[in-house]
């Protein structure tokens, strides 16, 4: 019997013969917790206090007398109150103090700071993250830990490097992609052969190993020591730390944080930061309105061996991603763990105890055995090691397995930092810095939208949804990050009224903001064994030619040559209205384009931040003199409302109504050369270009339904219309369109086809090409910025300054030459761009151009001098270079475009050819001035409308 297995058997034997099963032990512990909690509250607690804390099972780690006050007196007033004394809260306190807010910052902790048990974290401080934002946060954290170590503070830091192993071709491809990205991201890494992997870690077996990725600057540390280093520095700089103090309620006034009620008294404050990690969701319920922090606790195991003789202290941190395991050397022994395919839920009743001890569940060997088998396969010598313990240290995960940061949508000045998975030490320093920036300056040095808490809806905080989704989420942590990867759980949640018809037509679905939308249509195998339409989830599962290529090609051709019909229902939809002209005043302030246009016009505009970056990119249809409809990307549904509410001037708050009508309308897009003819057959309204020109709006009767909002745009560059249909009419209108379109060979089109259309037409999209750091001048949309309109819109000063100084990066389209789409790896976004052999930028959105018959990449190009300093980018600079795009380590020559191309077509159309989304006209400077042609009275002047796009 191997020693480690003998240790497992001994643990199980002791549990069985003790006569106490896990459930009984948990019950006794729960009763003890409740009794101790009541004794601790004693006479010092009111009945209401006891009810609140009993429900939350509050139990300080060290018992204090009922009338004893915390060691540090809680002040009655502070600028910032941080709740949570773990490593993230400590980092926020440190960075606020570093900023000069130390004397106005209070950190409260229900237990003792740094209460995390020493065996409940892996201690990796690594850079291997799936996005630029997460990598840069981790990079800053590692550098900060090094600085603290250099200053003599104990952190346990050792730069041992991380060795990441691959067992298959796709994993190696992902490593090659990471290696390519490393140039852009400033990360030092190296692709290894199997033999080189073993040189870095002689312990491992090479059985099944294809290669690896070595990151030499990664390391390990002691999260407990790092947390106390942050606390010590924060205290030195004036921050106050109050232990054994639990938050009871967060009070708000006029939509902003006002006061925090605790067991040690109340604190008036301007900002509250929820850094409670494991308990963040429960703390979110202590305010009105409730702040929704979607997190769910799952079991997570760490295996500790007893000290191993001659174990090299510089053993790297090893991750066998395909085996779902990791291990490291820790004070002479091995610490190991991993991520099961399906996590095991805990606290199904939603009540989470606050003490660290109560978080320690009994180990579940049956659940851990798959990871143990993989560990022993990868390091056979561990079979001779003696087991010390297997700990079940519970962790919380968000529904998308990403961190949660930012200002809560429900209450202003309420910030959240949670969901750091098991990698809190890698994230903590960076999170502390960016939250401090947001609190003190309102912005930070990174685009955080992929981590922002506003990426969620209320549905994501539903306990049953979290229970379903978070079984799957932890396993994603070590899975290959394939393009367009989809979750299998939490599905069939938000569906348009035409969803059953789309499923019957062969739709294969993707999910965005909980919405099921067709990604493509496949007529094969669309029924189950009972002959009913099957629900199918889109999967790519390759970095090369995707399995849906031919399906999307057929849909693309239908949109270009006949008629495609697509479901746009997931798009964000808002209505703005007022009694007077206040709604125009508000939108003129929020938007960089001129919105005071003729009734029936459509305006494409950005909502810029003070730095000129895009907080939103949207279309506005002027329905009437004082009524607008906004259409924005799906992921903007929560985010846009937060931005609008926060930046509405005080004098307009009571006068302008803003309503989220996303769920009230089904959006159907018909696009293609016959779309006008088709719609004309179903309505009595004249749809000729003179009566209903491009980029305008009308309310139509369609079929037997009325009140259909129809926009003469498609967001793809193709002719067509988007019909916003009240839900009760949706099925009727869809059926009439589909039936009448049969003679034109109408065909369903999914998201992948419409995406391919817009990439070829050089259309930028928020969240993929545009973000909070991208300006209209950089992406060729300066003609949509009206600097001289009679209002000082948000971001105007920054954009004027940029116009004077010149842009430092420019949005381009690149067509790859000599790329064989059948055998070569595809571009999927994030590929480095080289000009004359020098790195100058990265791709953003990429795809196959079915008309170009080439890979098409959109991205940004910069201009660096020999010292690495950025210079202004001009058209001449861009067009004079020789370009290459590196795809998974292989460079392909590329042709660069600066303007939206006119694609060859059998159906030329003057309207379509006249409009270009990127750098529409050569004389853009003429379009930067505010004209006098705007009007709030009706009119169908097509030329006037075109200048507002």
Integer Cα distance of 110 and 52 in angstroms: 14
Phi, psi of 330 (to 5 degrees): -145, 100
Query: How many CB atoms lie under 10 A from the CB of residue 745?
Result: 12
pLDDT given at position 422: 65
Q: Would you state the structure tokens that stand for residue 703, as one six-digit string?
A: 């079929």
The reply to whether 948 falls in a domain is: no
Q: Would you state the structure tokens that stand for residue 623, as one six-digit string?
A: 């329905």
pLDDT given at position 72: 73
Give the chain's residues under pLDDT 50. Answer: 1-2, 5-6, 9-45, 50-52, 54-55, 57-68, 922-948
Domain of 787, in residue numbers: 572-661+775-793
Whether the CB-CB separation of 617 and 603 falls below 8 Å is answered with: no
Integer Cα distance of 93 and 241 in angstroms: 9
3-state helix, strand, coil in the chain (%, to 5): 30, 25, 40
In 3D space, the residue among 428, 422, 431 whose CA is nearest the CA of residue 473 turns out to be 422
Contacts with 354 (C-beta within 8 Å, 6 or more apart), sequence order: 56, 57, 58, 59, 110, 111, 246, 279
The reply to whether 63 falls in a domain is: no
In 3D space, the residue among 264, 234, 267 whose CA is nearest the CA of residue 110 turns out to be 264
Last residue of a domain, one of 793, 822, 852: 793
The reply to whether 585 falls in a domain is: yes
The reply to whether 480 falls in a domain is: no
How many domains does the chain contain in total?
2
- Which residue bears the tokens 């799952």? 298
For residue 631, what is the domain's CATH number? 3.30.70.1400
Whether the CB-CB separation of 633 and 617 falls below 8 Å is answered with: yes
Integer Cα distance of 398 and 515 in angstroms: 18
pLDDT digits (tens, 9 = 90+) for 704-755: 999 999 999 999 989 999 999 999 999 999 999 999 999 999 999 999 999 9
Q: Which residues of 183-207 are buried (b: 16+ CB within 10 A; e: fewer)?
A: ebbebebebbebeebbebbebbeee
Length of the chain (residues): 949
Last residue of a domain, one of 392, 418, 445: 392
Integer Cα distance of 763 and 916 in angstroms: 8
What SS3 class is residue 199? helix
The reply to whether 193 falls in a domain is: yes
Integer Cα distance of 607 and 618 in angstroms: 8
The reply to whether 64 falls in a domain is: no
Element (DSSP H or E) covering residue 30: helix 22-41
On the question of a cis peptide bond just before residue 289, with omega within 30 degrees of 0, the verdict is yes
pLDDT digits (tens, 9 = 90+) for 349-397: 767 776 666 667 899 999 999 999 999 999 999 999 999 999 998 889 9
For residue 312, what is the domain's CATH number? 3.30.9.10
pLDDT digits (tens, 9 = 90+) for 46-82: 555 544 454 454 443 343 444 445 557 899 999 999 9
The reply to whether 132 falls in a domain is: no
- In the sheet that holds 247-253, the strands lie side by side as 247-253, 256-262, 265-268
Last residue of a domain, one of 392, 411, 431: 392
Whether the CB-CB separation of 629 and 724 falls below 8 Å is answered with: yes
User: Over the Cα atoms of the chain, what is R_g?
Assistant: 29
The reply to whether 619 falls in a domain is: yes
């Amino acid at each position: 019997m191997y020693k480690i297995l003998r240790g497992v058997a001994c643990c199980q034997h002791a549990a069985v013969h003790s006569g106490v099963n896990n459930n009984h032990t948990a019950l006794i512990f729960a009763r003890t917790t409740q009794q101790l909690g009541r004794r601790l509250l004693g006479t010092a607690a009111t009945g209401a206090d006891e009810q609140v804390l009993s429900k939350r099972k509050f139990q300080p780690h060290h018992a204090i007398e009922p009338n004893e006050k915390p060691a540090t007196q809680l002040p009655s007033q502070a600028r910032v109150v941080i709740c949570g004394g773990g490593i993230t809260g400590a980092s926020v306190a440190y960075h606020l103090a570093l900023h000069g807010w130390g004397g106005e910052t209070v950190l409260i902790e229900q237990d003792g700071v740094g209460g995390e048990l020493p065996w409940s974290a892996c201690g990796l401080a690594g850079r291997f993250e799936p996005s630029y934002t997460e990598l840069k946060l981790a990079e800053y954290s590692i550098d900060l830990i090094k600085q603290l170590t250099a200053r003599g503070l104990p952190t346990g830091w050792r730069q041992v490097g991380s060795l990441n192993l691959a067992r298959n071709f796709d994993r190696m491809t992902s490593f090659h992609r990471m290696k390519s990205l490393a140039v852009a991201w400033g990360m030092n890494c190296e692709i290894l052969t199997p033999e080189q992997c073993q040189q870095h870690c002689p312990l491992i077996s090479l059985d099944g190993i294809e290669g690896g990725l070595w990151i030499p600057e990664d390391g390990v540390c002691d999260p407990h020591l790092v947390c106390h280093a942050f606390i010590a520095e924060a205290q030195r700089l004036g921050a106050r730390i109050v232990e054994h103090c639990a938050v009871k309620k967060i009070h708000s006034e006029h939509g902003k944080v006002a006061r925090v009620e605790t067991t040690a008294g109340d604190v008036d404050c301007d900002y509250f930061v929820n850094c409670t990690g494991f308990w963040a969701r429960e703390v979110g319920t202590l305010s009105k309105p409730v702040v929704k922090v979607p997190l769910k606790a799952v079991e997570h195991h760490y295996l500790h061996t007893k000290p191993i003789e001659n174990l090299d202290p510089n053993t790297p941190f090893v991750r066998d991603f395909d085996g779902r395991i990791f291990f490291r050397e820790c004070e002479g022994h091995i610490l190991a763990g991993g991520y099961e395919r399906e996590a095991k839920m805990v606290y199904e009743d939603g009540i989470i105890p606050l003490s660290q001890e109560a978080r320690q569940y009994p180990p579940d060997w049956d659940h851990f055995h798959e990871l143990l088998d993989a560990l022993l396969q990868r390091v056979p010598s561990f079979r001779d090691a003696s087991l010390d313990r297997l700990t079940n240290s519970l962790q919380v995960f968000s529904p998308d397995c990403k961190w949660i940061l930012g200002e809560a949508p429900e209450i202003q000045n309420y910030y959240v930092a949670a969901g750091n998975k098991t990698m809190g030490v890698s994230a903590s320093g960076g999170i502390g810095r960016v939250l401090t920036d947001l609190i003190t300056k309102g912005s930070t040095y990174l685009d955080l939208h992929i981590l922002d808490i506003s990426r969620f809806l209320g549905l994501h905080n539903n306990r049953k949804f979290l229970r379903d989704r978070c079984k799957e989420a932890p396993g994603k942590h070590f899975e290959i990050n394939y393009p367009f990867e989809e979750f299998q759980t939490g599905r069939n949640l938000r569906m348009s009224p035409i969803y059953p018809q789309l499923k019957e037509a062969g739709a294969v679905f993707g999910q965005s903001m909980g919405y099921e939308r067709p990604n493509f249509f496949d007529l094969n195998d669309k029924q189950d064994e009972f002959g009913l339409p099957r629900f199918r989830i889109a999967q790519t599962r390759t970095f090369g030619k995707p399995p849906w290529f031919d399906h999307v090609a057929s849909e693309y051709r239908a949109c270009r040559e006949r008629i495609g019909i697509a479901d746009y229902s997931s798009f964000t939809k808002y209505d703005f209205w007022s009694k007077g002209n206040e709604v125009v005043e508000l939108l003129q302030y929020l938007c960089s384009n001129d919105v005071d246009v003729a009734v029936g016009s459509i305006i494409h505009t950005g909502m810029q931040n003070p730095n000129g970056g895009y907080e939103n990119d949207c279309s506005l249809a002027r329905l009437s003199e004082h009524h607008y409809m906004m259409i924005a990307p799906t992921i903007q549904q929560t985010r846009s409302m937060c931005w609008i509410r926060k930046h509405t001037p005080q004098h307009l708050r009571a006068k302008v109504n803003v309503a989220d009508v996303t769920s009230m309308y089904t959006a159907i897009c018909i696009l293609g050369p016959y779309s006008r003819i088709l719609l004309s057959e179903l309505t009595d309204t004249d749809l000729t270009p003179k009566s209903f020109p491009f980029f305008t709006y009308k309310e139509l009767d369609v079929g037997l339904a009325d009140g259909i909002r129809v926009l003469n745009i498609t967001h793809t560059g193709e002719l067509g219309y988007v019909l916003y249909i009240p839900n009760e009419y949706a099925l009727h209108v869809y059926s009439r369109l589909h039936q009448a379109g049969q003679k034109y060979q109408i065909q369903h089109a999914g998201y992948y086809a419409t995406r391919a259309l817009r990439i070829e037409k050089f259309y930028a999209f928020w969240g993929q090409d545009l973000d909070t750091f991208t300006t209209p001048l950089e992406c060729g949309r300066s003609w949509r910025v009206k600097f001289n309109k009679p209002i000082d819109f948000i971001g105007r000063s920054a954009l004027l300054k940029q116009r004077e100084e010149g842009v430092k990066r420019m949005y381009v389209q690149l067509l790859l030459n000599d790329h064989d789409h059948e055998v070569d790896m595809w571009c999927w976004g994030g590929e480095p761009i080289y000009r004359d052999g020098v790195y100058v930028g990265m791709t953003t959105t990429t795809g196959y151009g079915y008309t170009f018959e080439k890979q098409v990449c959109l991205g940004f190009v910069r201009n660096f001098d020999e010292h690495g300093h950025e210079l202004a980018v001009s058209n001449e600079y861009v067009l004079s270079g020789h370009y290459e795009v590196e795809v998974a380590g292989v460079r392909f020559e590329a042709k660069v475009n600066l303007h939206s191309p006119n694609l060859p077509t059998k159906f030329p159309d003057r309207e379509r050819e006249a409009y270009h989304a990127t750098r529409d006209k050569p004389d853009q400077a003429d379009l930067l001035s505010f004209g006098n042609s705007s009007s709030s009275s009706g009119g169908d002047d097509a030329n006037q409308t075109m200048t507002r796009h």
